[in-house]
Structure 1
């Protein structure tokens, strides 16, 4: 969780308890919960307003975001190929090795069974 271990979380909780006391923590948690709910509602309203205005103007938001997602995936693939150009070479080498291994196993199979 965000690179924070159990000991760090425990230390943070102890510090909060020492700073605010046990009576203030439930009130703070309630306030934080309400604030997060209001923030979530506000972002949902903004998203719905954007999609509503896009539909009114005739834009398809899904096609725009899908196009962006496709471009991002193409860029990631290009970067991966540029950083690791031997990726395809490794699979090309592995296939003949597997074939030779199978041939050797086929040849030595009857010999192994006789012993």
Structure 2
């Protein structure tokens, strides 16, 4: 059982997808879903904030902290 779906439910869903899209489109759909999942994982693993402070201001702030 995968995520609340049994074997028969998965087979029925696969059959419906096969009928709707055809056998030629299945590899394209699979690769598209794989890219989407990979991009989602990458996006959730990145830091939430991006520092856009120019380099010269960063150096100035670091110098002030040391003094």
TM bracket (short chain): 0.5 to 0.7
Q: Which runs of 5 or more structure 2 residues have no equivalent in the other structure?
A: 52-67
Tell me which of the two structures has the higher relative contact order, counting C-alpha pairs closer than 8 angstroms and 6 or more residues apart. 2
Partner of residue 65, structure 1: none
TM-score, normalising length from structure 1?
Answer: 0.39
Consecutive unaligned residues in structure 1, runs of 5 or more:
54-115
Runs of 4+ in 1 over 6 A off after TM superposition: none
The TM-score, its normalising length taken from structure 2, stands at 0.65
Q: Which protein shows a greater Rg?
A: 1
Distance 1:43 1:5 in 2: 29
How much is the aligned-residue C-alpha RMSD, in angstroms?
A: 1.6
Count of residue pairs brought into register by the alignment: 49
Task: Pick the structure with more helix per residue.
Answer: 1
